[in-house]
Amino acid sequence: MPASLCWPNDPDWLDGRTEIDLPSEQLLRAYWDADILDTNGVPPPTIINIKDDFYVRFRIELAGGLWQCIAGTWDFDVGFTPIGKGTGFDLSEHVGQANLQYPDWKGCDTLCIELKVTVAAGTIPAGVYDGTLYETGARFQLHCCGRPAPVVGYEALEEYQFYQ
């Protein structure tokens, strides 16, 4: 696991990695990390009280000079899939997709991206705290200017239950 250039004091920053082949047969490397954090910036236990605020933090570190030639919009989301029953939901359904975007990104300006989204108390609907255990996963997408398909990444997170 490489040391982070953007977050050198956080040894656990790296959770996901992808290599993207370009038509020029060169590789782009992207490292990402998504965390659910309490209001003190600490990962909560796997049970979250929906009466309290919590945060979702997305971080991306892009490696290699080729990223400097790319621009676009980053979209992030977290999916909550119930284990064994019911249907899931995406965080974007409750906080709005616009709050989960890093628009007008240019690799020539920054190769480190951090987005912290507040999930205010009561944002998660009360019906989801019925003791269901949810698998969670973060999604990262870069919609590149001039490229038909987005650059996509995923990261599995912890399993969570909600209560109030």
Domain spans of the chain, in order of start = 18-163
Nearest in space to 164 (alpha carbons), one of 123, 136, 134: 123
Helices H, strands E: what count in the chain?
1, 10
CA distance 49 to 137: 19
pTM across the whole model: 0.88
pLDDT digits (tens, 9 = 90+) for 45-90: 888 888 899 999 999 988 877 888 889 999 999 999 988 877 889 9
> How confident is the model at residue 89, as a pLDDT?
92
Q: Beta strand pairing status for 89-90 and 101-106?
A: unpaired
- Confidence tier at 152 by pLDDT (50, 70, 90): confident
Tell me the residue length of the chain. Answer: 164
CA 35, 38, 42, 44 torsion: positive or negative?
A: negative
Q: Beta strand pairing status for 151-163 and 134-144?
A: antiparallel
Question: H-type helices in 24-80, by residue range?
Answer: none
Residue 163, pLDDT > 90, answer no
- Confidence tier at 44 by pLDDT (50, 70, 90): confident
Q: Are the beta carbons of 52 and 38 closer than 8 angstroms?
A: yes
> How confident is the model at residue 151, as a pLDDT?
81
Averaged pLDDT of the chain = 84
Q: Token digits for 139?
A: 């999604």
CATH class of this structure's domain 18-163: mainly beta
> How confident is the model at residue 112, as a pLDDT?
92
